[in-house]
């Protein structure tokens, strides 16, 4: 059988050849991940290639693994260009950007990095709510630009504690968001496909997202994205949240109808939105930049040193386990 690994020579007592599997790297990682990845695998840096199609055509046949990131995934064309692909390891909990149907068809394994990022993502969601509701970005500017001294007191903003929170998707991240909100004495309701046995007593299960939005001041979108959840927060949900409501999205842009969201924010039918994810990110719709009732974040909810180190470790552990024939630590497929 044709060998599809790139051998490297390793000096030891007696010279031996250690085959390192070829891995296609879709996007950059921090140095602390890149170094061990380069040691364990032959990394083919797709993101550095000027001509992506030519690069894939050249390296695709040797590729046995893909290392990608949550928002980058691996599409059908990329998977098709790698006829010997065995495993895709995602640096992120969301794997909606990986063509799972293509993977199923070819028996390609898929892994992600759940759990290790849950608390940081929840923290950022709650921080976004507080920052926007209390006007902290504007307040910082008020101090720095001399407005405090020149104009006096900063305009009053809206309270957070004790108000009504809705959590759209009570998975791991939604649960941690709700737990934190309980600490602000908020009344909590959630929507999920089914009622969750682990929901705390007092958290109301509301099956219909529109009804959830209607009884919420703050609506957190914390669903794992899929074709079924596309635009689940659409015009009806947004209108139900209303002119006093705030939408916070720390999941995927596709869960929200961005056109409907922008229309509602521009006309005041929705009070405000705090967003970590955008359609076509990192290039977002310029209409967002003209709005003062939004808080815009660069998809960094999992972006702490501690969590990103744990994600990188898990990404590598999944690849290593696969190539060593061990059980995958966190399989999706
Ligand atoms: C990204 C994410 O993977 O977990 C996810 O699904 O989208 C993020 O954690 C992260 O921004 C690294 O690219």
Residue 80, number of CB atoms within 10 A of its CB? 14
pLDDT value, residue 10: 46
Kindly name the residue from 44, 299, 308, 316 that is annotated as catalytic: 299
Alpha carbon distance 112, 331 (integer Å): 7
What is the rounded average pLDDT of the residues 274-282? 98
Q: Which helix (H) or strand (E) holds 273?
A: strand 272-275
In this predicted model, what pLDDT tens digit does every residue of 247-271 receive, in sequence order? 999 999 999 999 999 999 999 999 9
Please provide the CATH number assigned to the domain covering 22-116+306-324.
Answer: 3.40.50.720
Alpha carbon distance 123, 63 (integer Å): 37
Classify domain 118-142+155-296 at the CATH superfamily level.
Answer: NAD(P)-binding Rossmann-like Domain (3.40.50.720)
The reply to whether the predicted model has a pTM over 0.85 is: yes
Alpha carbon distance 25, 46 (integer Å): 6
Q: Give φ, ψ of 158 to 5 degrees.
A: -95, 145
Q: Is the peptide bond before 282 cis (omega within 30 degrees of 0)?
A: yes
Name the more confident of 237 and 12.
237
Indicate if 158 belongs to the active site: no
Q: Helix (H, G, I), strand (E, B), or coil: what is residue 44?
A: strand
309 by Cβ neighbours in 10 Å (0-12 / 13-18 / 19+) ranks as middle
**In which band, very low, low, confident or very high, does the pLDDT at 2 lie, cut at 50, 70 and 90?**
very low
- The whole-angstrom distance between residue 317's C-alpha and the CA centroid of its chain comes to 20
In this predicted model, what pLDDT tens digit does every residue of 43-62 receive, in sequence order? 999 999 999 999 999 999 99
Residue nearest atom 9 of ligand 1, based on CA coordinates: 92
pLDDT value, residue 3: 41
Q: Which helix (H) or strand (E) holds 173?
A: helix 172-182
Q: Give φ, ψ of 166 to 5 degrees.
A: -120, 135
Q: Is 324 left (phi over 0), alpha (psi -120 to 50) or beta?
A: alpha
Kindly name the residue from 252, 308, 316, 322 that is annotated as catalytic: 252
User: Which residue in 177, 207, 173 sits closest to 190, CA to CA?
Assistant: 207
Q: What is the DSSP letter of 330?
A: S
Alpha carbon distance 78, 53 (integer Å): 9
Residue spans per domain, the chain: 22-116+306-324, 118-142+155-296
What is the rounded average pLDDT of the residues 307-318? 98
Domains 22-116+306-324 and 118-142+155-296 share a fold: yes
Q: What number does the ligand 1 atom closest to the CA of 302 have?
A: 9
Query: Which residues form ligand 1's pocket by a CB distance below 6 Å?
Result: 69-71, 91-94, 117, 299, 302
User: Which residue in 93, 57, 62 sits closest to 78, CA to CA?
Assistant: 57
| Burial state string for 134-159 with b = 16 or more CB within 10 A and e = fewer than 16 | bbeeebeebeeeeeeeeeeebeeeee
What is the rounded average pLDDT of the residues 73-102? 98
pLDDT value, residue 322: 98
Answer whether 162's CB lies under 8 Å from 186's CB.
yes
What is the rounded average pLDDT of the residues 9-28? 76
Q: What is the DSSP letter of 98?
A: B
Mean pLDDT, the chain, whole residue set:
95
What distance in angstroms lies between residue 91's CA and the mean position of ligand 1's atoms?
Answer: 6
What distance in angstroms lies between residue 92's CA and the mean position of ligand 1's atoms?
Answer: 4
Evaluate if residue 149 carries a pLDDT over 80.
Answer: yes
Answer whether 157's CB lies under 8 Å from 134's CB.
yes
What is the rounded average pLDDT of the residues 134-139? 98
Residue nearest atom 4 of ligand 1, based on CA coordinates: 92
Residue nearest atom 13 of ligand 1, based on CA coordinates: 69
Indicate if 299 belongs to the active site: yes
Evaluate if residue 240 carries a pLDDT over 80.
Answer: yes
Indicate if 252 belongs to the active site: yes
Answer whether 61's CB lies under 8 Å from 83's CB.
yes
**In which band, very low, low, confident or very high, does the pLDDT at 7 lie, cut at 50, 70 and 90?**
very low
The pick from 28, 29, 69 for probing ligand 1's pocket by mutation, whose C-beta has the most ligand atoms within 8 angstroms, reads: 69
Alpha carbon distance 219, 64 (integer Å): 42
What distance in angstroms lies between residue 134's CA and the mean position of ligand 1's atoms?
Answer: 27
Q: What number does the ligand 1 atom closest to the CA of 90 have?
A: 3
Alpha carbon distance 154, 173 (integer Å): 34
pLDDT value, residue 16: 60
Kindly name the residue from 164, 211, 279, 281 that is annotated as catalytic: 281
In this predicted model, what pLDDT tens digit does every residue of 178-214 receive, in sequence order? 999 999 999 999 999 999 999 999 999 999 999 999 9
């Amino acid at each position: 059988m044709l060998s599809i690994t790139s051998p490297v020579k390793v000096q030891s007592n007696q010279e031996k050849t250690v085959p390192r599997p070829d891995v296609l790297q879709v996007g950059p990682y921090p140095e602390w991940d890149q170094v061990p990845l380069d040691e364990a695998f032959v990394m083919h840096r797709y993101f550095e290639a000027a001509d992506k199609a030519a690069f894939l055509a050249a390296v695709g046949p040797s590729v046995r693994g893909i290392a990608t990131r949550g928002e980058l995934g691996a599409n059908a064309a990329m998977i098709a260009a790698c006829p010997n692909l065995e495993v895709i390891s995602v640096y992120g909990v969301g794997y909606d950007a990986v063509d799972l149907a293509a993977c199923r068809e070819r028996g390609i394994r898929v892994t992600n990095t759940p759990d290790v990022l849950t608390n940081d993502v929840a923290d950022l969601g709650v921080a976004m709510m507080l920052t926007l509701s209390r006007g902290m970005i504007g307040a910082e500017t008020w101090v720095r630009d001399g407005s405090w001294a020149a104009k006096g007191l900063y305009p009053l903003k809206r309270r957070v504690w004790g108000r009504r929170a809705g959590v759209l998707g009570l998975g791991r991240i939604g649960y941690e968001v709700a737990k934190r909100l309980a600490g602000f004495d908020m009344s909590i309701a959630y929507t999920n496909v089914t009622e969750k046995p682990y929901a705390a007593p007092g958290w109301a299960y509301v099956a219909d997202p529109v009804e959830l939005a209607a009884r919420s001041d703050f609506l957190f979108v914390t669903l794992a994205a899929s074709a079924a959840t596309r635009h689940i927060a659409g015009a009806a949900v947004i209108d139900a949240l209303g002119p006093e409501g705030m939408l916070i999205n720390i999941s995927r842009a596709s869960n929200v109808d961005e056109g409907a969201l922008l229309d509602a924010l521009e006309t005041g039918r929705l009070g405000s939105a705090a967003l970590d994810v955008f359609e076509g990110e990192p290039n977002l719709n310029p209409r967002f930049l003209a709005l003062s009732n939004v808080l815009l974040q660069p998809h960094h909810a999992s972006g702490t040193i501690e969590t990103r180190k744990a994600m990188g470790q898990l990404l590598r552990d999944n690849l290593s386990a696969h190539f060593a024939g061990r059980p995958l630590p966190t399989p999706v497929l």
